[in-house]
Chains A and B, each alone.
Chain A
Amino acid sequence: MKGRRRQTVLAVSVSSVIAFVAAMPAAARAQDAAAPLFRMVAPAPPTEGHEDPALEPRTRTSLFDVGQATTAEPKARRACDGCPVRRPVFATVEVLGINVIYNLMNRLKKPPDLAQFQVKPSDWWQNLTHGFEWDGNAFAVNQFGHPYQGNNYFNAGRSNGLSFWESAPLAALGSATWEYFGEKDRPALNDLINTTAGGIALGEMFHRVGWLVRDTTKTGGARLRGEILGTLIDPVTGLNRFLSGDATRVTAKPADMIPVQIAGAMEAGVLWRASNTTLSNAAGSPYIQVNMQYGDPVGSPYRQPYDGFNVSMRLGGGAPISEATVRGRLHGHFFGDPAAGRQLMVVQAYDYVQNSAYEFGGQSVVMVFTRQRHAPEGTNLVVSAAGGAIILGAFSSPYQYGEARDYDYGPGLWAGLGATLRRKTTPVARLSYDMRLVHVVSGTSGNHVAQHIRADGLIPVRGRLRLGIGLEYVRRKVYYDYADDLDEHYPQARVFLTLVDK
């Protein structure tokens, strides 16, 4: 029963992804209208958007103050003129309200799925006294639907003036209260972790992308279109902006929401993937992929969490959404002169891979050491070494757990090496290797070990048009405790067209 529910959640998730994909070129244009379509360099962040903290005492907010914004409003409740009013209690109430909305949305379902969401106090008590278990939901629900739901909780905090780290507990609060009180099933540990960690990663990413398409200096139709598009990308922030009146206030854009640079590319092509056989036996699948680099996580000094991140999303290629990754810089420290390009970063990673051959999803935190070497004419080489923890990983399994779960869960380790040749901000060649180990604590006991080699390159065709070729090879071994071991390999090739900045 639980495996068939939450289609509504997924529907909302998919619609937001589509909005996100559709918005990226618009985001680019909003950032710098004079720049080419797929590469934008933002102007230096305006200083007037950030007032001197010492001159700006805070005031306590009242419980249900939704903060109707006017130009006469004291600045004390905003961190900057374009920032949202700080309403921490309202943010908390809003998180609980989001759970009510999700519950009501799921109540539109027909029996027998409906019963799961007709919760009573006796169900709450049952959940509180029985504690956590692992659920048996489908991969997309657990690895994408829940992180998306967590993004809503997180952005209830962000859109009410809370910082990244202050908003993070709200993702946990929303998840915990949903698990205990939002549905009849016992709370699931995988949901708590995926909703919290994935919600933070997707939430900050969506929040910042949403701010790319808003131009708070404009009025009229252009302003409204930007606000609506931002709402599609980050619904909670958009809703709060319309409710508070911020959607029509003319201000400078918050300085923290302006990246030092932004680059994006959309590629379209065909993908061949084989499972335990050669590529010659594989059928081609069309796909569209969006890649975006927000800020310059490798080259710019650290200012705040997610001031630099990479996100990619692939539609098609074996599944409606076959791949989505987010890599956000949580912290960074340069050794010596930043121009020398030696940096140690803490990076949060969100992974979602679902295709006809295998599934992998995970929430990770890794240490990444990068070295950037500059060459003439804007070319640079970035090499990196990474290692860290997979907080919770999900790997496909031939054995089923529960009603709809064909994958194992567990924590693990991640190590990798990479080299990327970039011309300005555009990667023109890339070579990477990574290894992931997941120790199963829910599913079929054992250890998954996956190695992944990837090589991508772009060949000039005409003007800004490039022909891209990508080769990947995944080898996965599973050492089961009580079943026969698995040794699988998945070769993959992509051929695609993309536009780059000259």
Chain B
Amino acid sequence: MSIIAVAALVAAGPAGAQDGPAGATGPKPAATAASSTAARKVFLGVGGSYIASRTDCTNCDEEGVYWDGWAVHVDGGLTVNDRLDVGAEIFSTHTTTAGVGMRSNYALAVAQYRPWASRGFFLKGGIGMVFFRGDTYVEGHGTADVKTRGMGVHYGVGWLIRRERRVAFAPFAGHYVATLGDVQGSDWLAENVVSNNWVAGLTVIIR
């Protein structure tokens, strides 16, 4: 998570959703009254992104291999208040190298927080499951069709453009981590496989 991003988060003033000593007082942001009507609204987002990926394991080559590819995603959920959205996300990555493709589908519970209610900057985090399938290329062993599942974790930042409109846009950057445990191929066993995926893309959001 970006240091600057979190600094901005905590510098942003009182949190609308909080009921602790700090959040319990202070004037509500100017946007609160207007946005309170948006509370509990449903949102839907679709988007795409470029992805750079590095997958390794405890018995893999230390240096690992970087691949790249693309990803699509669908978000849906509720606007809790003028700062917080919660919901679910399907994030599907497709990475290729030497003509061999792999696909990971993340199913995550996500939360998106805007430190400033009046600005578009947001932080996003999520956790859930990841489903992996594809021809997995292993040096020295060729390819093998692998299907497995594991845990997915995500964090990222972005900026919501036209946030007051029905259709908004959100360029974002983030990090998706898929941890799959042991993955077995035809004649190999990759132990404790972890895939790090750095992404940059755009989401179109409809409210």
What residues of chain A have their CB less than 8 Å away from a CB belonging to chain B?
50-51, 53-54, 56-58, 60-61, 79-80, 83-84, 86, 88-89, 91-92, 96, 129-134, 157-158, 161-166, 169-170, 172-173, 176-177, 189, 192-193, 254, 256-257, 303-305, 391, 401-402, 410-411, 439-445, 481-482
| Nearest-Cβ distance from residue B17 to partner chain A, whole angstroms | 6
The interface bits of chain B over 134-162 (1 if a CB of A lies within 8 angstroms of the residue's CB, else 0) are 00000000000000001101010000000
For chain B, residues 98 to 139, give those with C-beta under 8 angstroms from any C-beta of chain A.
113, 123, 125, 127, 129
Bound form: Cα–Cα A79–B24 in Å: 7
List 29 A-B pairs, Cβ < 8 Å.
A54-B27, A58-B27, A60-B13, A79-B21, A79-B24, A86-B22, A89-B7, A89-B10, A92-B3, A92-B6, A131-B175, A132-B179, A133-B56, A161-B21, A162-B22, A163-B14, A164-B18, A166-B23, A169-B113, A170-B10, A172-B1, A193-B153, A304-B19, A411-B151, A441-B181, A441-B192, A442-B181, A443-B181, A481-B184
Residues of B within 8 A of A (CB-CB), count: 48
User: How far is the CB of A230 from the nearest CB of chain B, in Å?
Assistant: 16
- Rounded to whole Å, the gap between the CB of A410 and the closest CB of chain B is 7
Contacts of B36 in A (CB 8 A): none
15 extra interface residue pairs, beta carbon distance < 8 Å, beyond A79-B21, A303-B19: A53-B25, A80-B21, A88-B11, A132-B153, A165-B18, A169-B1, A173-B3, A173-B6, A189-B179, A189-B194, A256-B24, A304-B24, A411-B127, A441-B180, A481-B184
Q: Does B44 contact A (CB under 8 A)?
A: no
Q: Is the CB of A410 within 8 A of B21?
A: no
Interchain CB contact under 8 A, B22 and A79: yes
The complex places the Cα of A444 from the Cα of B181 at a distance, in Å, of 8
Q: Which residues of A contact B10 (CB under 8 A)?
A: 88-89, 91-92, 157, 162, 166, 169-170
**B56, A80: Cβ atoms closer than 8 Å:** no
Contacting pair A131 B177 (CB below 8 A): yes
- Closest residue of chain A to B150 (Cβ to Cβ) is A441
The reply to whether B192 and A401 contact each other, CB–CB distance below 8 Å, is yes
Q: Indicate if B12 sits at the interface (CB-CB under 8 A).
A: yes
B97: shortest Cβ distance to chain A, in Å?
17
B25 touches A256 (CB 8 A): no
Q: Does the CB pair A133–B194 fall under 8 Å?
A: yes
Evaluate contact between A166 and B22: CB separation under 8 angstroms.
Answer: yes
User: What residue of chain A has the Cβ atom nearest to residue B109's Cβ?
Assistant: A389
Using known A-B contacts A132-B177, A133-B56, determine if residue A165 contacts B21 with beta carbons closer than 8 Å. Answer: no
State how many angstroms separate the Cβ of B111 from the closest Cβ of chain A: 10
Q: Is the CB of A165 within 8 A of B23?
A: yes
A79:B26 contact, CB within 8 angstroms: yes
Q: How far is the CB of B31 from chain A (nearest CB, A)?
A: 15
**Residues of chain A with a CB closer than 8 A to B3's CB:** 92, 96, 173, 177
| Distance of B64 from chain A, by nearest CB (Å) | 7
B182 with A482: CB separation less than 8 A: yes
Residue of B23, B27, B56, B181 with most partner-chain A CB within 10 A: B181
- Which residues of chain B are within 8 angstroms of A442 by Cβ–Cβ distance? 179, 181, 192
Query: Which residues of chain B are within 8 angstroms of A157 by Cβ–Cβ distance?
Result: 10
Complex Cα spacing A165 to B10, Å: 10
Q: Is B19 a contact partner of A189 (Cβ separation < 8 A)?
A: no
Could you tell me if A169 and B9 are in contact, using CB atoms closer than 8 angstroms? yes
Residues of A near B151 (CB, < 8 A) are 410-411, 439, 441
Q: Are B1 and A166 in contact (CB under 8 A)?
A: no
Nearest to A83 among chain B residues (CB) is: B21
Residues of chain B within 8 A (CB-CB) of A445 are 181-182
B21 touches A58 (CB 8 A): no
In the complex, which residues of chain A have a beta carbon less than 8 angstroms from the beta carbon of B155? 172, 176
Q: Is A134 a contact partner of B194 (Cβ separation < 8 A)? A: yes
Contacts of A54 in B (CB 8 A): 27
Complexed CA–CA distance, A196 and B89 (Å): 22
Which of A50, A88, A192 is B24 in contact with, Cβ under 8 Å?
A: A50
CB distance from B188 to the nearest CB of A (A): 12
Contacts A165-B17, A254-B21 given: A172-B125 contact, CB under 8 Å?
A: yes
Bound CA span A444–B198, Å: 27
Looking across the interface, which residue of chain A has its beta carbon closest to that of B130? A441
Closest to A172 in B: B1
A347 CB to closest chain B CB (Å) equals 17
Nearest A residue to B84 via CB reads A165
Can you name the residue of chain B whose Cβ is closest to the Cβ of A402?
Answer: B58
User: Is B202 interfacial (CB 8 A cutoff)?
Assistant: no
Contact A166 B15 (CB under 8 A): yes
Segment 42-84 of B: residues with Cβ below 8 Å from A:
54, 56, 58, 64
Is B189 located at the chain interface by the 8 A CB criterion? yes
B177:A80 contact, CB within 8 angstroms = no
B residues 172-190 with Cβ under 8 Å of A?
175, 177, 179-182, 184, 189
Give the CA-CA distance A204 to B115 in the complex, in Å.
21
Q: Is there an interface contact between A170 and B6, defined as CB atoms closer than 8 Å?
A: yes
Q: Which 6 residue pairs of A and B lie closest in terms of their CB atoms, listed nearest first?
A: A131-B196, A163-B18, A163-B20, A163-B23, A88-B10, A445-B182
Distance in angstroms from B8 CB to nearest chain A CB is 9
Q: How far is the CB of B112 from chain A (nearest CB, A)?
A: 12
Nearest-CB distance from B21 to chain A (Å)? 4
Q: Which residues of B contact A61 (CB under 8 A)?
A: 11
- Residue of B with least CB distance to A82: B21
Minimal beta-carbon separation of A132 from chain B (angstroms): 5
Contacts of B7 in A (CB 8 A): 89, 92
Q: Which residue of A lies closest to B129 (CB)?
A: A411
Nearest Cβ distance between residue A413 and chain B, in whole angstroms?
12
- Residue with the greatest number of chain B CB neighbours at <10 A, chosen from A56, A131, A402, A481: A131
List of A residues within 8 angstroms of B1 by Cβ: 169, 172-173, 176
Which B residues are in CB contact (< 8 Å) with A443?
181, 192
A444 to chain B, nearest CB (A): 8
Given contacts A88-B12, A133-B56, contact A189 B153 (CB under 8 A): yes
Cα separation A84 to B1 with both chains bound (whole Å): 27
Known contacts A166-B10, A441-B181; decide if A56 and B54 are in contact (CB<8 Å).
no
